Amino acid sequence: MSDKVFIFDTTLRDGEQVPGCKLNTKEKIELALLLEELGVDIIEAGFPISSPGDFESVKLIAQQVKTATVAGLSRSVEKDIETAAAALRFAAKPRIHTGIGTSDYHIKHKFNSTREEILERAIKAAKFARRFTDDVEFFCEDAGRSDTEYLARVVEAVIKAGATTVNIPDTTGYCLPQQYAEKIAYLINNVPNIDKAVVSCHCHNDLGLATANSIAGAAVGARQIECTINGIGERAGNTSLEEVVMIMRQHPELNLHTDINTRMLNEVSQRVADTMRMPVQANKAIVGANAFSHSSGIHQDGFLKNAQNYEIINPDEVGAAGSKIVLTARSGRSALAYRFKNLGYDFNRDEVDVLYEAFLQVADKHKEVDDEALEQLAKTVVAETN
Ligand code: KIV
Ligand code: ZN
């Protein structure tokens, strides 16, 4: 049996921090219930101290979500933690997510502090959070650039103080997959009480490595991945939920699984994009409009012979509308014949040759040749050849 990786969705917190993506309470509740239906294990509902509106959203989500754990973010500040606890009071499964920066950048230039002082603050925060719930996650912000031995000391101390999940964020998206994996492996192999906590990956995408880093972390023993739908999040975004889930599904050799209902991925992606008014890029893995589209002649011919020549995922598995053969000036004869067949025309090889020349004239003038243009072509060419 493969190991389960917990999916911690932060679309409503890290994702919602994106300029223009702010949601009202009703929208946040609707998306939280959808995420629960999708099968995420933990929903980070917001940052309760940040505004009265966010407090209210977290409170209402906590009341309505029944099966998933609901998390609220806080800094390592008592007032923050108390406020998060108050917002989560009615949650069936509340989690306080607290933490502090552990890199020397953050220690010196954000807190004007020292490693020892930060360690003390971290311990105090984890202990204080445990007064309100048994489920405490501690984040070591900028862990990606933190000194690994110091990070290990913080992780050991916060677990001793009561943290049940330790979050190792690559906050600035700096690490290479191997570096991130080495950091996680170091913690797993050197922190004496690490077996008392779940290790979590929280990766940002500044170098386009968020997904690769999260999978690298899970491959060496992390058992929670923090991610967002469509990969939205601060700056270049967070790890994309749909990508990590499908990587684990497509690669059984990783021996990892999640409880996500993958058939809902496209629907949820669209709902998040519409609600947040943040369109999904067409070439986005799994959920982009072109994720199952084939437009060059070589690919189309291979795909039509056997879909697996050019598709590693069955579109049904992720709830996509289906594979598409798109006609452009780069398309070939077999794709043209296929599309004509779908429209009810069964042209022979010689007819397709004639139609193909006419098609190229049209295709060179337009980005894509649609059904209407194909019908027109068929009529003209048929009329000319009769
Ligand atoms: O990127 C980050 O470090 C975060 C923490 C607040 C968890 O979002
Ligand atoms: Zn983050």
**For 267-286, how does the pLDDT look when each residue is reduced to its tens digit (9 = 90+)?**
999 999 999 999 999 999 99
Q: From atom 5 of ligand 1, which residue's Cα is the shortest distance away?
A: 141
- For residues 148-164, give the mean pLDDT: 99
Distance 14 CA to ligand 1 centre (A): 8
pLDDT over 80 at 150, yes or no: yes
Q: What is the DSSP letter of 272?
A: H
> How is residue 110 written in tokens?
């954000």
Q: Which residues, at least 6 apart from 53, have a Cβ–Cβ distance to it below 8 Å?
A: 24, 25
Residue 326 has a pLDDT of 97
Does any ligand 1 atom lie closer than 6 A to the CB of residue 141? yes
pLDDT band, residue 1 (cuts 50/70/90):
confident
Q: Which atom of ligand 1 is nearest to the CA of 142?
A: 3
Does any ligand 1 atom lie closer than 6 A to the CB of residue 75? no
Domains in the chain, CATH or no CATH each: 3-276 (3.20.20.70), 293-385 (no CATH)
Rounded to whole angstroms, the Cα distance separating 163 from 127 reads 8
- For residues 273-302, give the mean pLDDT: 97
Name the residue with higher pLDDT: 381 or 267: 267
Residue 381 has a pLDDT of 77
pLDDT band, residue 293 (cuts 50/70/90):
very high
Q: Which ligand is nearest to the CA of 101?
A: 1
Question: Is pTM beyond 0.85 here?
Answer: yes
Q: Which atom of ligand 1 is nearest to the CA of 143?
A: 3
pLDDT band, residue 15 (cuts 50/70/90):
very high
pLDDT over 70 at 386, yes or no: no
Distance 141 CA to ligand 1 centre (A): 6
Q: From atom 1 of ligand 1, which residue's Cα is the shortest distance away?
A: 171
> How is residue 254 written in tokens?
């990783």
Rounded to whole angstroms, the Cα distance separating 371 from 343 reads 8
pLDDT over 80 at 180, yes or no: yes
Q: From atom 7 of ligand 1, which residue's Cα is the shortest distance away?
A: 139
pLDDT band, residue 24 (cuts 50/70/90):
very high
Does any ligand 1 atom lie closer than 6 A to the CB of residue 202? yes
Q: Which atom of ligand 1 is nearest to the CA of 13?
A: 8
Closest CA to 222 of 174, 179, 181, 254: 181
pLDDT over 90 at 380, yes or no: no
Mean of all residue pLDDT scores within the chain: 97
Does any ligand 1 atom lie closer than 6 A to the CB of residue 169? yes
Q: Which ligand is nearest to the CA of 231?
A: 2
Q: From atom 6 of ligand 1, which residue's Cα is the shortest distance away?
A: 141
Q: Which of 171-175, 326-330, 382-386 has the lowest average pLDDT?
A: 382-386
pLDDT tens digits along 192-236: 999 999 999 999 999 999 999 999 999 999 999 999 999 999 999
Report percent pLDDT > 90 for the chain: 97
Q: From atom 2 of ligand 1, which residue's Cα is the shortest distance away?
A: 171
Does any ligand 1 atom lie closer than 6 A to the CB of residue 180? no
pLDDT over 90 at 88, yes or no: yes
Entry field: residues in the chain: 386
pLDDT over 80 at 146, yes or no: yes
Give Cα separations from 220 to 184, 263, 309 (angstroms).
7, 28, 31
Q: Which ligand is nearest to the CA of 169?
A: 1
What is the β-pairing status of strands 94-101 and 69-75?
parallel
Does any ligand 1 atom lie closer than 6 A to the CB of residue 16? no
Rounded to whole angstroms, the Cα distance separating 147 from 82 reads 30
pLDDT over 90 at 118, yes or no: yes
Rounded to whole angstroms, the Cα distance separating 16 from 278 reads 11
Report percent pLDDT > 70 for the chain: 99
> How is residue 363 written in tokens?
């295709």
Residue 9 has a pLDDT of 98
